[in-house]
Structure 1
């Protein structure tokens, strides 16, 4: 009977403790660790305070009963009834309830049985298997601590050792009754009162619930929109036009592309009064394709059309249609045109349309074709899209699918080129209208000195000049600030902090002097804009050339002159320092010269051996003999150019020394100063004084044999810059 009661009590204690442990395990680990650390410090600070010790052991036992067992058996705490109870609970949680182990702890802690005798280790499992022992006290079934039979002597009434079996049975029954009256059993339930949480806790719980709900709903809506199932549940997925601006863009805000504006004015008139164009049976254009280099104002033109016509403006980028889900691109095209039809007449502007309108390939994935097919259907399909003007912009019109650019879809192709000199002046005036300018500023000079600049680059030039003037503390933007901004864009930023040795500066001066002299004395070469030995960008020096006016093409003489100028740097190094002391600084020069010579041979038909034929060296069907002929012709052009450069510099070696000396003294010379320096004169402009011409001395040279040699010959990286208006080869 007693053994059965023990088993029942053990099972109930274990179940209750495991349930309590699972509930405690829900707490956040970082907060629990900090709480345990605090409780441990409080318990160890005053070992005699049993209340703090019990609080710590209860908290620790909920998460780590093994640690409670270890600390109690180690003797970290003063033995007491509470410590013994927590020790028992920890043994049950850890499934280590061994009577021998418990008896050993009780013996060390000074606990006795009901007769005042010290307990000896006794196996709990052995006791149950052995059956009831009438010669031993039954007090070990009392709960919770008394369930093991251990208590303080004053808390236990001794019994006679010669009790009869009947008395023993009665005692056993009393013992079982004691078990049933133990708190926590069905006969003696523990009444628990739940305290109402504080207002702060309730508020935090409500906020957490609302936050989780919001995130779940937002994620569900996003998923439904991406999958295209929003309309099934009544969710509005119509695309909305761009919000109206307080000051809409007008045609007067677009400069440098007068021809493109004139061609687009018809679109504006159509959007304002479409009946005027359709009264004679004519059909209005459905699409306009804007083609041109980056930064020329294609997007600005589209906004100007919408601003002039006063109609809704829908904007989309070509890359917005495709995502990870198949079919999303086609669905978004449908939604875009559905929203536009509800607000017609309107404008749909698709920027970088080549992202979805590229030429179809049989090897492409099916979903890539679906987006383009849907766009083709919306532009000119079974359902007409009257009142909608589609404007596309691209930098690569050759990559577009032929079905997209045919008449009926994109009826008009408007080219938006880089502005000419007058257009550049107008753009500079537009971007400097809010910038205070000094009286010495002449924007036409800046416009002539910036061929090939796009509208975006000119806007950057004006902004850079304004920032430079503000940094220097000037009240107005002067001409020098605009020149600084132009040189920074053309030649790169100066690296004034770079530590350059004197030998490197001398070598760089002769290298750049060779480029400049070739530009001065070669027929067809572009004028020198500026020569410098100040490191800019990745180069140690640079010679910049700009045409006197806009160039639309290049002659054979001009191309050969450009190759000769590229060869001037290496030829000057070999002439002055000898063939054994040439450097790797001419790498960029050779790259430019080789590309130009190869273009002359393979693209421009300027080779007598190959004739007027265009060759693509990447083609596999090009014969080996033809490739060898191309290589031979390119090498011939480069060798002849290098020979001409060497001969010219030998004939003007004195001018080379003069120019190198001037570069070493001034570091940077403009085109006029380069001309004077080559003659031994340099023009120094001093504020409020007349310019003075000062003769130059030949630089001192250290010689080895009959060759000039600096103290140390490095291998700098240099670059020969040609004006950006030159055609790309």
Structure 2
């Protein structure tokens, strides 16, 4: 039910009430009887001297109108018939009530006009101006979700060869779903892109939609986090409903960890309600619906386990920082429209640790510098001049000097040797990252935990064998090694005795460090081989590491 007064806000109601009060006071002033009362002697004198122009009676009083005195009154009971015999006494004028009705009409008309004007104004509001809507609508804004047609292709993105291979199956499924249904297979309902900021996760999702030629529904995880309880869950429901109407389609949720964090002790009904709705929606659509959910996150460790289980995000794709060859491919894309006279491979080698976004910024800064210097081609000197600006600007990209790079190559070579020697699970190890899986299977055996500790100490030991010192970037590996040793002593009873002891932690750490140091020293040739591979390609896979180790042994 639409009550007219609810269309006015508090300030408007106050102004309207104030206006009514002012009008009522004016009516009171006009209608109240303020006529002066005279005595019988004064009235007789006015009548006898013929000063009375008009007389009328009202409510027991006789009103006498004169030029000099104005209107005066006297009680009718005081006047004798002989005194008023020659006066023409009339009935009281109704002009006061006329004023009353006039003001009543004005007030009513003004109120009706204001109400209709407000309703008409709201009806004419454009959809992009919700700020002046009524308060109820402001608290529940429209969440119309429209699909977009992606124009980004894989050919527009450089350095994503491994990722492209993982996603080609998804693209083929969206193009030819019957092929998979007839075979009894189903595609993953969800694909999670994991990687640091700036590596192109959003562009990859757009490229999948463009290659498959399907609608692309984009939402950020932060857009689901609402002030009002229930609005986040509503947005999730609307997103999936829109996608189902346009199936086959891709739903892309950027920064999904904003809404998909682990549910712990801190209570947040709105975020948990939104997460529950997302879990329900991903369970709710059928395998034949033709919808694939792609999400991106920078930190998979904080995500709720229910979101990562099979049947939701079945496939995880790690998008790492680009290697030298991948950086070269990315730079070629960015330099297509820019006149240049340089070796792209030289630029790629000097940008260790750069992500795709940083490379784009580097190329743009070099081009701007070239224009400022009124030159016609971008040269290597321009890149060298702006490198520090990109390194220490807003993005603060980690860059390695030549000496730091030598230390990093040696450090990672030691870790490659240890991880391969103890056959720990990893896909590849690069100069900027390593994806060695920590021990998680239960029960964990002592020799398995010690193997992981040796790997985390191998980089330090390898650096000391070559340079006699190690760099500060060993802090993470050292912290992980300490955590594992602490768990062995205080949680698993794997120290020198069942009772935990601080001395046990130091003795175990020193023993494992000496063991990996001796192992690296005996197999220096293998470590040197790994150094050469890392120096040239900036990464090494486990299969290549095994093959290299078998050649030397």
Q: TM-score per shorter chain, which class?
A: 0.5 to 0.7
In the TM superposition, what whole-angstrom CA distance separates every residue of 1:175-217 from its partner, at most 9, and x where no partner exists? x53x84x68367999999x9xxxxxxxxx99987632443599
The residue aligned with 2:459 is 555
Structure 2 residue 137 is the aligned partner of structure 1 residue 255: no
SS of equivalent residue, structure 1 residue 392: strand
Instruction: Indicate which of 123, 129, 146 corresponds to 1:240.
Output: 146
Greater shift after overlay, 365-374 or 205-214? 205-214
Deviation at 1:475, TM superposition (A): 3.1
Report the CA distance shift for 1:523/1:614 in structure 2 as closer, same or farther (over 3 A): farther
Q: RMSD value over aligned CA atoms?
A: 5.4
Corresponding residue to 2:320 among 417, 421, 425: 417
CA deviations 1:643-694 (Å, max 9, x no partner) are xxxxxxxxxxxxxxxxxxxxxxxxxxxxxxxxxxxxxxxxxxxxxxxxxxxx
Query: Which residue in 1 is equivalent to 2:382?
Result: 481
**Per-residue deviation at 1:491?**
3.6
- Aligned partners of 1:521 and 1:224: how far apart in 2? 58
Which residue of structure 2 aligns with residue 472 of structure 1? Answer: 373
| Structure 2 counterpart SS, 1:350 | strand
CA drift of 1:255 comes to 1.2
Asked which structure has the greater CA Rg, the reply is: 1
Alignment of 1:301-700 (within 5 A): 301-361=204-264, 363-381=266-284, 384=287, 386-437=289-340, 439=341, 441-492=342-393, 524=407, 550-552=431-433, 555-556=459-460, 599=476, 601-604=478-481, 612-613=485-486
Kindly indicate whether the alpha-carbon contact (under 8 Å) linking 1:226 and 1:328 is maintained by their aligned counterparts in 2: no
TM-score (norm 2): 0.59
**2:14 aligned with 1:137, yes or no?**
no
Partner SS, residue 419 of structure 1: coil
Tell me the residue number matched to 2:84: 169
TM-score, L = length of structure 1:
0.46
1:518-570 superposed Cα distances (whole Å, 9 cap, x missing partner): x979994899xxxxxxxxxxxxxxxxxxxxx945578216877999899xxxx
Query: Does the residue aligned with 2:317 lie in a helix, a strand or coil?
Result: strand
CA distance in structure 2 between the partners assigned to 1:601 and 1:557 by the alignment = 11
Corresponding residue for 2:426?
A: none
Residue 306 of structure 1 deviates from its aligned partner by 0.7
Q: Do the aligned residues in 2 keep the contact of 1:602 with 1:614 (CA within 8 Å)?
A: no
The superposition leaves residues 474-525 of structure 1 with CA deviations (integer Å, 9 ceiling, x where unpaired) of 33333332222211112449xxxxxxxxxxxxxxxxxxxxxx9xx9799948
Structure with the bigger RCO (C-alpha within 8 Å, sep 6+) is 2
**Contact (CA 8 Å) 1:523, 1:557: kept in 2 or not?**
no
SS at match of 1:364: coil
Partner of 1:296: 199
Which deviations, in whole Å up to 9, do the C-alpha atoms of 1:130-180 show, x marking residues without a partner? 56734442658969xxx8977469x99xxxxxxx96553236x54x53x84
Query: Is the contact made by 1:278 and 1:284 (CA closer than 8 Å) also made in structure 2?
Result: no
Q: Which position in structure 1 is the counterpart of 2:190?
A: 287
Task: State the shift of 1:394 in Å.
Answer: 0.7
Q: Distance in 1 between matches of 2:273 and 2:324?
A: 45
Residues 27 and 100 in structure 2, CA contact (< 8 A), matched pair in contact too: no
* Unmatched 5+ stretches in structure 1: 1-21, 28-61, 66-88, 100-123, 157-163, 195-203, 231-236, 494-515, 528-548, 567-592, 617-622, 634-724
Mapped contact 2:31–2:96 kept (Cα < 8 A):
no
More displaced stretch, 374-383 vs 446-455: 374-383
Q: Deviations over 1:380-416 (max 9, x none)?
A: 3485563111111111111112121112211110000
Taking the aligned partners of 2:215 and 2:268, their CA distance within structure 1 comes to: 34
Q: Tell me if the contact between 1:378 and 1:385 (Cα under 8 Å) persists in the aligned partners.
A: no
Determine if contact 1:347/1:390 at 8 Å carries over to the other structure.
yes
**Contact kept? 1:241, 1:313, Cα under 8 Å:** yes
Deviations 1:234-260 (A, max 9, x none): xxx874312x25xx2111112122101
Q: Residues of 2 paired with 1:132 and 1:447: CA distance?
A: 119
**Helix, strand or coil: the match of 1:389?**
strand
Task: State the distance in 2 between where 1:310 and 1:95 align.
Answer: 82
Determine whether 1:264 maps to 2:167. Answer: yes
Deviation at 1:284, TM superposition (A): 2.0
Contact 1:604–1:612 (8 Å) recurs in 2:
yes
| SS of corresponding position for 2:193 | strand
**What secondary structure sits across from 1:169 in the alignment?**
coil
Aligned-partner Cα distance in 2 for 1:134–1:369: 89
